[in-house]
Amino acid sequence: MTEKDKMLNGEYYDSRDSELLKMYHKARKLLKEYNNLDSELIQERERILSKLFEFKASGVWIETPFFCDYGENISIGENTFINTNCMFLDNNKITIGKNGLIAPYVQIYTATHPLKASERIIRNGNESRYLTSTKPVSIGDNVWIGGNSVIFPGVMIGDNVTIGAGSIVTKDIPENVLAYGNPCKVIKELK
């Protein structure tokens, strides 16, 4: 099993593996190009995003700057808008449905580490490395995520959800609700 396979299976993996570094560097080049591109060059923006992401439906609009680890683990549904300064750590799959609104400074994380330093850090002589595993994130259709929100690894957000600004989403959120807070919790149903 490759380190990429381990990463996508949620097992501990070596983030400095040559295949993963190649993916990382490819994404850095595409992001640099995208983030420095004139906003009027729509076809060029589309071309870069299509090369970066696993899947990008029509009508997806991403403001710059935008940041991600690999890009190829991200799928975005039609007519979704992602505002400026978003960070998607796509060490595992990030799936976003159609008609989404992702506000500025939203962070979506799929990577996690053991909590105890003694379990997280592996020492080998004078060198050390750390253990990393991943969990996918899934966001349904018609979801609005308010600015400065953070989505934790393994979280699933249902369809037609509104997440209030500044929320820390640590657990799954069912469909058709308003949720916000730290930690994020369901406030009321949206019928």
* Cα 32 from Cα 66, distance rounded (Å): 9
Q: Is 113 a catalytic residue?
A: yes
Marked catalytic residue, from 6, 93, 113, 185: 113
List Cβ neighbours of 120 (8 Å cut-off, separation of 6 or more): 113, 114, 130, 131
Q: Backbone phi, then psi, for 41, in 5-degree steps?
A: -85, 70
* Cα 134 from Cα 175, distance rounded (Å): 24
Residue 178 β-bridge partners: 162, 188
* Cα 11 from Cα 114, distance rounded (Å): 12
Contact criterion met (CB below 8 Å) for 101 and 82: no
Catalytic residues: 113
